[in-house]
Structure 1
Amino acid sequence: MSAEAMAGPALFIGDDTAYVALVRPQLDPADPDVVRAAGEAGVSPEEFAGPGDVWALLVEDGAEGDGFELPGLRDVEADGFAEQLQAVLAGAEPFTVEAGDVLRLDGTPAGDGWALTAHVTPPEGHDTPARTLTPGPAVTADLLADLAAFRGSLA
């Protein structure tokens, strides 16, 4: 799929080699890649693109990536996670913020930002074990800007 085919809110925490991302992908049924993939699957592009209302958590740690759907997550809960993270970033104290049972993010002050540790527990039925990863250091101003943009995309 081309990057243009994907849309929807996304919050990436980390860098290119280690991150967690809370995303609600939405495919564009008019994108040529979506049309081709739909044809290969034997469905209409609209059916292939789907409603675009299912959240997913993507995880990358070096060469090993994974992801899983979060079918019960609603926009209000994703916004609540982002709001909690914004609030704790305003202080200079270590923090823990959770996104349900699947993601716990621990942060400790480090220079002009935060050293983060993400604890990911896949939902029941997913065959990947729980894992802990250390996303790249997060500069407070950049993370706050990303959170504001993410929350704005949910409005």
Structure 2
Amino acid sequence: MSPVAMGGPALFIGTDEVYVALVRPELDPADPGVRLAAEQAGVTPEEFAGPGNVWALMLDQDGEGDGFELPGARDIEADDFAEQLQRDLVAGEPFTAEAGNFLRLEARPTPTTWQLTAHVTPPEGHAAGPWTLDLGTLPTADLLADLEDFRRSLA
């Protein structure tokens, strides 16, 4: 599932070596590292942690990672993307799914797996990208379970 713990809803697609992740990180104000950082910043831990409502897209390929915030992204859009992926996986035909203008997944089925390719386009002003990532061949059952877990975390 997830190579990195985010503390909030997170949908990781890929392997430990190459993945894309749609995440809404949540900082815990009680975490000692958050408390120290807040103190150094001169704010309360709650202010430092913030509302936890900013979505981001992270990616990694062979240890070369990057990520960017998705201004204006909301839980409903993340859920719609996950629901679209679930429907398309169950249908069993090749498909393309898009999450806004920043992520496009191309999927090709085999009897029990999917070959996935991610096309990532960062927002204007981001220094790196765009990227095309071969996410590998992933088991259908694992993908569906991860999508269900992600959607449940949004509820």
* TM superposition shift of 1:40: 2.4
Match of 1:7 in 2: 7
| Counterpart residue type for residue 127 of structure 1 | A
State the 1:53 CA deviation.
0.2
Q: Summarize deviations over 1:93-148 as a string: whole Å, max 9, x none.
A: 11100000000000001341100000000011211120100113211001100000
1:144 equivalent in alignment to 2:141? no
TM-score, normalised to structure 2, is 0.93
Partner residue in 2 for 1:61: 61
Separation of aligned partners in 1, 2:26 and 2:57:
14
For 2:43, the equivalent position in structure 1 comes to 43
Map 1:5-154 onto structure 2 (within 5 A): 6-154=6-154
For residues 49-85 of structure 1, the C-alpha deviation after alignment (integer angstroms, 9 at most, x for no partner) is 1110000000001121000000211100000000000
SS in 1 for 2:152: helix
Separation of aligned partners in 2, 1:40 and 1:115: 46
Q: Percent identity?
A: 66
Once residues 71 and 116 of structure 1 are traced to their aligned partners in structure 2, the CA distance between those partners, rounded to angstroms, is: 26
* Contact 1:12-1:19 within 8 A present in 2 as well: yes
The answer (yes or no) to whether the contact 1:11–1:21 under 8 Å persists in 2 is: yes
The amino acid of 2:90's aligned partner reads A
Taking the aligned partners of 1:55 and 1:116, their CA distance within structure 2 comes to 22
Number of aligned residues: 152
Distance 1:69 1:47 in 2: 19
Cα distance in 2 between the residues matched to 1:129 and 1:144: 28
Q: Distance in 2 between matches of 1:63 and 1:112?
A: 28
Amino acid at match of 2:136: G
Do 2:117 and 2:136's aligned partners in 1 also have CA atoms closer than 8 Å? no
Letter paired with 2:110: A
Structure 1: gaps (5+ residues) = none
CA positional deviation for 1:16: 0.6
Taking structure 1 as the reference length, the TM-score comes to 0.93
User: Would you say the 8 A contact 1:19–1:136 is kept in 2?
Assistant: no
